[in-house]
Amino acid sequence: MTPIGCTVTPLEQGEVEAILGAIIDRTGAVPEPRGLRWLLATCHDGVAWGVVREGSSALSSEAFPEVSPVPERTSLLELRLFGPAAEVRLWRTGEGFAGCRIEDAPDPALDGSPGAPKRESWLLVGDLVREVRDGFSLLSGTAGKRQAVPVEVDERRQTQELPLRLEVCHHLEEDEESGAVRVVLTRFTGLVQGSRGDTR
């Protein structure tokens, strides 16, 4: 896989352990502070959002334990730390956890070409604010789905600020024989609140 417009660097096992230690075991500072503000942990029993502040992470499972699972090594499937220009991703393997660092590598020659990275905003579940606590907003949507996101949404202005959006960047790869391009990697880049714009 050779995605266009970014570099992918495998993490050493020590780097993976340091990140797991800081976020899952809560035993130190987050070692990847370079512009990586947001955190999303996908677990067997749900998702936990988080935010990195000055080398430490705050998790939705701390602010809203009734909604968000506590990420643990036994339940964690994938962990993403992300910001506008980079993402660090960890995932479960048969032997434990592996990881990589994905960094934006802008190339002016790609502008307007079919292989240029494609940016999108994905709507998040929840268009009503139920409660704001410790820097997290508890959102609910249709069919009773709820999640706690690391954004303080002003309950008085929720119609302007919801729904929230997850910004993503799709990186493509070109088949050398056919010339066809396809998405080979999608990285998260930020969270956006409705009409207020980018909250990064």
The whole-model pTM stands at 0.87
Percent of the chain with pLDDT over 70: 90
User: Structural domain boundaries of the chain?
Assistant: 6-104, 108-198
The pair phi, psi for residue 25, each rounded to 5°, is -85, -15
Query: Tell me, what's the pLDDT at 44?
Result: 95
Classify residue 132 by burial, with Cβ atoms within 10 Å: 0-12, 13-18, 19+: middle
AA letter at 102: I
What is the three-state SS of 59-80?
EHHHHCCCCCCCCCCCCEEEEE
Q: What angle do CA 14, 168, 62 make, to 5 degrees?
A: 60
Q: Give the residue with greater pLDDT, 36 vs 156.
A: 36
| CA-based nearest residue to 198, from 40, 54, 37 | 37
- Tens of pLDDT along 106-148? 777 677 777 788 899 998 888 888 899 999 999 988 778 899 9
Rg, C-alpha atoms of the chain: 18
DSSP annotation of 194 reads T
| C-alpha to C-alpha distances, 47 to 67, 79, 93, 171, nearest whole angstrom | 9, 10, 19, 24
Query: Tell me, what's the pLDDT at 155?
Result: 67
The H or E element spanning position 39 is strand 38-43
